[in-house]
């Protein structure tokens, strides 16, 4: 079972020694970007909307367009770092979720996961894979696509049998 995320407090982020590079708190949305040098591997963006499901950044027509796109969902990402265990522990601390051990440490989130794998060197740290669950007719037999050096892994899960 994946953890339901709670928005970490500014105090918790500061106590973890993580710098905030951008923050905005509006009545309907709050966003905080954490410094990638302090979290490693990728910039972490913590966002919360009120009410849940609204999204100011999507523009005034956002809610009217929900559900009109192609079927599918973002299921997971993989981040390559030189120290996957330490970085997974850091992200887990900030996000308040436990680290799942295995061949690659992972964080289970509400409807997906973040997995950490070994990067060849610090210059190659970053997002290396996005797993997208699609219905078989959208996959058209493909299992992966590479786009800008990031692998898009395509699969059909239980939601698309």
pLDDT, tens only, 21-73 = 999 999 999 999 999 999 999 999 988 888 877 888 888 777 666 666 668 88
The string of pLDDT tens digits covering residues 79-98 is: 999 999 999 999 998 888 99
Q: What one-character-per-residue DSSP string does the chain give? A: -PPPP-PPPHHHHHHTT--EEEEEE-SSEEEEEE-HHHH-SS-EEEEEESSTT--GGG-TTHHHHTT-S-S-EEEEEEEEES-HHHHHHHHHHHHT-PEEPSSS-EEEETTEEEEEEE-SSGGG-EEEEEEEE--HHHHTT--EEEETTEEEEEE--TT--
Q: Hey, what domains does the chain have and what are their CATH numbers?
A: 10-63 (no CATH), 67-155 (3.10.180.10)
- pTM value > 0.85: no
């Amino acid at each position: 079972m994946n953890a339901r995320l709670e928005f970490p407090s500014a105090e918790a982020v500061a106590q973890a020694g993580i710098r905030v590079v951008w923050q905005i708190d509006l009545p309907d949305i709050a966003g905080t970007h954490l410094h990638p040098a302090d979290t490693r591997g990728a910039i972490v963006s913590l966002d919360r909307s009120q009410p849940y499901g609204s999204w100011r950044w999507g523009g005034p027509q956002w809610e009217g367009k929900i559900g009109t796109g192609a079927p599918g969902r973002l299921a997971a990402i993989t981040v390559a770092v030189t120290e996957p265990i330490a970085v997974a522990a850091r992200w887990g601390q900030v996000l308040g979720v436990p680290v799942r051990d295995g061949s690659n440490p992972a964080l289970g989130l509400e409807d997906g996961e973040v997995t950490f794998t070994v990067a060849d060197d610090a210059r190659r740290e970053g997002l290396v894979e996005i797993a997208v669950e699609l219905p078989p007719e959208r996959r058209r037999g493909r299992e992966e696509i590479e786009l800008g050096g990031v692998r898009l892994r395509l699969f059909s899960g239980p939601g698309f049998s």
